[in-house]
Amino acid sequence: MTDTLAAPASTASTNGKIPVTVLTGYLGAGKTTLLNRILTEDHGKRYAVIVNEFGEIGIDNDLVVGADEDVFEMNNGCVCCTVRGDLIRVVAGLMKRQRPGKPAFDAIIVETTGLADPGPVAQTFFVDEDVKAKTQLDSVTTLVDAKHVMARLDDSREAREQVAFADRIILNKVDLATPEELDAVEARLRALNPLAPIVRAERSNVPLDQVLGLHAFDLDRILEVRPDFVNPPHGADSHVHDEACGHDHDHGHDHDHDHDHDHGHDHHDHDHSHGARGHAHQDDIKGISLSLDRPLDGAKFTAWLDRLLGEQGQNILRAKGIIDVQGENRRLVFQAVHMILEGDLQREWGVAERRWSRAVFIGRDLDEAELKAGFEGCAA
Ligand SMILES: Nc1nc2c(ncn2[C@@H]2O[C@H](COP(=O)(O)OP(=O)(O)OP(=O)(O)O)[C@@H](O)[C@H]2O)c(=O)[nH]1
C-alpha cells in the first residue's frame, strides 16, 4: 500500500470528516488512469491516495503520478485478510498529518487491487472507531473495462462484487467496444446493480465531480444486501478477520451477500497461498513477479512480450512492468490487459534510483519457470 499526497488544498469535508472515495474495478479496468487524472487535474485540492496492490514488486506505486513525493510501502496483503488492518494504520497515519485547524488534505482516495472485493475496504470506514470518527465514506466507484468485463462477470466473483457494490459505475474503454456491445454491457451491469448511475468513459475521462464528493455511499442499500455490513461480530457471516482478531484465521466463514446469487461465498475459498512469489487469489489466478538487475535488450524484450501475449494472452489477465533497456536512459513502461499491449518510454531514471527491470504477470495457468526464463533471456 502506498500513500501519495498531491496538489494544493481545500474541499468541504463532511461534518468535519474527511470524505473517502473507494475506487475499485477488475484488473486493468482503468483505476490508475483515473487516479492519475485526479492527481494531475487543476482542481486546487489536495488528495491523499492509498494504493493497495497485488504482487509484491511495487510497480503500481511507481505508475501513480507524484508517487515519489511521499510514499510508504506496506505489506501487499491479500485484501480480504489484511487490508483492513493496513488501511486503518494508513488512515490513522494520515490523520496525524493534519495541521491544527486545517486538514492536511481534502479527501482520501483508496484504489483497491483489481482482485479485491470492495466490501471489506468499505467496512473499514464503519467498524474502526478512530477511522469512523474522522472519515466518511463518500462513494464506491467501480471502473469497468468495456471490452473484457463480460467474460469477467462470467468467471470472477470479485468482478461481480465490485459491480454490485458500486455507488457509481464508470464504463471505461468505450473505444474498444461497439455501441451494441456497450448497450449489452450496460444491461448486464444494470441487472447486477440497478441503482448505480453508469457513466461512459474513454481513458477514464470522467469529470471529477462524477467521482468525488458524491455523498453517494448508501449504507441503507448496503445493509439490505449485507445486513451485517457494519461491525459484523466475530464468527458471524461477513466477519472480516484482521490482526485485532487475535487468532489464526479460520476458514469457515461465508460472506452472505452477492446480488447475483453466487452464494456460499466463502472468501477463503480462494486458494490463499501467501508464498514469496505467487500470491494466489482465486483458485487458479496467480501473480508472478519477475525482476532483473541487468538491463534488457529492448528488441528481444519486445519480441518476447509480443509472442507471449499472442500465445497466452487469453490467460494473462494483466501484465505490467518497468524495464531498464540497454542504451536507453528512459524507463520503458509496459501495460497489458490480455492481448492489448501498450508500451512507452517514460521519464529518465533518477540518478540515485535503482535501475532494474521488474514485471508482474497476473493470470491463469501461468508457468512461472517459463516466464522467468523468457524474461531473463532478454538480458542484454
Ligand atoms: N484503449 C483504452 N485503453 C485504456 C483505457 N483506459 C485505460 N486504458 C489502458 O488500460 C491499461 C490498464 O489501465 P490502468 O489504469 O492501469 O488499469 P488499473 O485498473 O489501474 O489496473 P490494475 O491496477 O492492474 O488493476 C493501461 O494500458 C491503460 O493505458 C481506455 O479507455 N481505452
Output the CA 98–ligand 1 centroid distance in Å.
Answer: 33
Same topology, domains 18-218 and 285-378? Answer is no
Q: Which atom of ligand 1 is nearest to the CA of 362?
A: 24
pLDDT of residue 102: 63
Testing ligand 1's pocket by substitution, the residue of 22, 26, 32, 202 carrying the most ligand atoms inside 8 A of its CB is 32
Nearest CA to ligand 1 atom 15: 30
Of 311, 362, 296, which Cα lies nearest the Cα of 335? Answer: 362
- Ligand 1: distance of its center to the CA of 29 in Å? 5
**Mean pLDDT of the 288-299 span:** 94
214 pLDDT band, cuts 50/70/90, is confident
As assigned by CATH, the class of the 285-378 domain is alpha beta
ipTM value, please give it.
0.99
- In terms of average pLDDT, the best of 50-54, 88-92, 261-265 is 88-92
- pLDDT at residue number 184: 97
For atom 11 of ligand 1, the residue with the nearest CA is 28
> Among the listed ranges 29-43, 338-352, 366-380, which one has the minimum average pLDDT value?
29-43
Instruction: Tell me if 111 sits within 8 A of 26, measured CB to CB.
Output: no
Ligand 1 atom nearest the C-alpha of 340 is 27
Identify which of 26-30, 56-60, 172-176, 343-347 has the greatest average pLDDT: 172-176
- Give the start-to-end residue ranges of the domains of the chain: 18-218, 285-378
Q: Which atom of ligand 1 is nearest to the CA of 174?
A: 31
Q: What share of the chain is helix, strand, coil (3-state, %, to 5)?
A: 30, 25, 45
Handedness of CA 38, 29, 290, 347 (dihedral sign): negative
Report the nearest atom of ligand 1 relative to the CA of 172: 31
Ligand 1 centroid to residue 286 C-alpha, Å: 19
Binding pocket residue ranges, ligand 1, CB within 6 Å:
25, 27-33, 60, 114, 143, 172-173, 175-176, 202-204, 318, 335, 337, 342
d(CA 286, CA 330): 30
Q: How far is the CA of 212 from the centre of ligand 1 (A)?
A: 20
Task: Specify the CATH number of the domain 18-218.
Answer: 3.40.50.300
Comparing 278 with 300, which gets the higher pLDDT?
300
Query: If you average pLDDT over residues 146-172, what whole number do you get?
Result: 92
Which run of H or E residues covers position 88?
helix 83-96
Q: What is the chain's mean pLDDT, rounded?
A: 76
Q: Can you tell me the mean pLDDT for 254-262?
A: 35
Residue 150 has pLDDT above 90, yes or no: yes
Specify the DSSP element, H or E, that contains 286: strand 285-292
* Angle ∠(70,112,18) on CA atoms, nearest 5: 60
Residue 191 has pLDDT above 70, yes or no: yes
Query: How is residue 210 annotated by DSSP?
Result: G
With the most atoms of ligand 1 within 8 angstroms of its CB, the residue from 206, 334, 335, 338 to mutate is 335
Which atom of ligand 1 is nearest the CA belonging to 336? 27
- Alpha-carbon 147 to chain mean position: 18
